[in-house]
Amino acid sequence: MRPCNIQNLSKLPLNEAAKTSVLSSKWRCIWLKCPRLCFDGLAMFKCKRGELFLYAQQFIAQVDAVTQKHHGEVVEEFHIRFDFDSIPAHYLDNWHVQLNFVSIKPPSKFRGFPNLRKLDLQFLDVTSKDLEIMLSNCIILEWLNIHRCHLNDELRVGSPLPRLVYLQVVYCDVTKIQFHAMELATFVYEGDLVPIALKHSLKLENANIKLDSLNDRHAISDLVKAFPNLRNLNFHLSWNDAKTELLPDTPWKFSHLRPAPFIEKLEIDFWINLLLLDESHEDHSIRQQLGRCEYSNLKNMHITGYKGSREQFEFLIHVVENAPALEVLTLEGAGIEYEEVAFLMNSAWIDRITLSAKKSALIAQRYLSEKLSSKTQLCIKTT
C-alpha cells in the first residue's frame, strides 16, 4: 500500500477502517495499525442513548479485542464514549495507562488524568516540573511506576495524592523524592542514595530499596528515618570496591535500623564482586562492644550474598543478640545467584565459590548456635 493510502485510512473511523480489510487480502491487518482509536458507543451500535446499556458487554468485548490486537507504533488519539453507569465498575477499575518511549510537553491548560487509577511511565522524556503538574492532577491515582525517566532533578509532587498506595521509582536519576501520599503502603526504589521525603505516609509498611552506591553512611540512617512505621524492609546493597570496607568500622554502623523499630521482616541482599570473596575463614572475634539496640518486633531476617566477612559477621551477631522475637533466620552464601550462568564460568572457579560459601556457613552456624534462641529456626543455604 502506498503512503497516501495509509494516510487516508488513518482518517477513517476505526470501524470503517476495519471494513477495508474485505477489499484486499493485503489490507487485512492494516487497520490494526490505525493511529486513531475512537470508541463511540452510539456510532458503533446505531442506537439511542437510553438503549446503550443493552450493548455494554458487547462494547467492552470489542474495545478489549481491538486494544489487545493493536500494534501500531503511534496512537494519536484515544477516545472512549459510553455511558459511565452502563459499564461495570470492576471493568473500569482494571484499566490503566502505560506510556513507553514518549515525550510529554503538556499545554498550559493541561490538567492531567483526574480519573486515572493506575499509571506506568517508562523511558519518558519529561521535565520534573511538567511531571509534577501531570501527577498533581491524578487525584484518585492508586498505583504509580516511574521507570528510567531521567529527570536529573527532584521528583516532587507537592499536592496530596490521597489514594496512592503503591509507588515505584527505578533508575530515574533523581536528586530527591518527595510525595504527599497519606495512604501509601508500599514503596520501591532502585538507584543512587538520595533524600526521600514521605513524612505524610504514616501507613507505609513495605519498602524495597536497592542502592547502587554506598558512600555516605549517615545518609543511610536518614533514609531509614523516612520509614518510621515499616514492617517489611528489603535492602539490596551493591559492593564492588576492594579498597573500602562493606560497613564502616564504627559502633554507629548498627544504628541504621533504630529509626524503624516496627520492622517484622528484614531482607538484606549484599551484591558483592566474587573476586572479593574472603577465603581466609578465620574465626572472627567481636572487635568492640557495639551496645544494645533492641529490635523487639523483628521476626524474620533473610540475608543473601553472605561471604563471611568480619563486617557481615558482626552485623549478623548484633541483630541476633538484639532481636528477642526472631523466629526465622536465613543465610544464603555469596555465589548462589550465579548458578543460572554457571555454564559460562570455569568449573574450578565454581568449586572455589562453593567451598568458600560452605566454610563461611560453618563458621556462622557455630557462632549462631550459641546465640540463637531455641525458638528460632536457622536455615543456611550454600548451593
CA distance 180 to 169: 15
Give domain status of residue 190, yes or no.
no
Whether 338 and 353 have beta carbons less than 8 Å apart is answered as: yes
- Specify whether 316 is located in the same domain as 210: yes
Residues 73 and 109 grouped into a single domain: no
- Give yes or no: residues 301 and 360 share one domain: yes
Is the domain of 101 the same as that of 40?
no
343 and 245, same domain (yes or no): yes
pLDDT of amino acid 300: 94
- Grid cell in block for residue 36: 486513531
Which cell numbers in the block locate residue 114?
Answer: 483526574
**Domain's final residue, options 184, 215, 248:** 184
pLDDT per residue as tens digits for the range 214-260: 655 555 666 777 787 888 888 886 654 434 444 444 433 444 566 56
Tens-digit pLDDT profile for residues 20-49? 555 555 555 555 667 777 888 888 888 888
User: Do 173 and 268 belong together in one domain?
Assistant: no
Q: Do 289 and 372 fall into the same domain?
A: yes
Q: Rounded to whole angstroms, how far apart are CA atoms 133 and 121?
A: 15
Flag whether 194 is in a domain.
no
Mean of the pLDDT values across residues 178-198? 94
Alpha-carbon gap, residue 316 to 156, rounded angstroms: 36
For the beta carbon of residue 316, count every other beta carbon within 10 angstroms.
21
Does some domain include residue 198? no
Query: Residue range 55-70: average pLDDT?
Result: 82
Pair (217, 103) in one structural domain: no
Domain finish residue from 94, 119, 134: 94
Residue 334 has pLDDT above 50, yes or no: yes
Residue 167, C-alpha cell as written in the block: 509507588
Q: What is the mean pLDDT of the chain?
A: 76
Summarised one tens digit per residue, pLDDT across range 83-132 is 766 666 666 656 666 667 777 887 777 777 788 888 999 888 999 999 99
> End of a domain among 184, 214, 241?
184
Instruction: Tell me, yes or no, whether 57 and 80 share the same domain.
Output: yes
Contacts of 314 (CB under 8 A, 6+ apart): 247, 284, 286, 287, 290
Residue 196 included in any domain: no
Q: Evaluate whether residue 81 is within a structural domain.
A: yes
Within this chain, do residues 299 and 370 fall inside the same structural domain, yes or no? Answer: yes
Range of the domain at 107: 96-184
Q: Is residue 361 part of a domain?
A: yes
**Strand-pair category, 196-197 with 77-81:** unpaired
Same-domain pairing of 100 and 70: no
The number of distinct structural domains making up the chain is 3
**What cell numbers appear for 85 in the block?**
453507569
Alpha carbon separation from 100 to 103, 126, 169 (Å, rounded): 9, 12, 15
The whole-number pLDDT of residue 47 equals 86
For residue 292, tell me if it sits in a domain.
yes
**Cα–Cα nearest to 126, from 104, 108, 110, 107:** 104
Residues 379 and 283 in one domain: yes
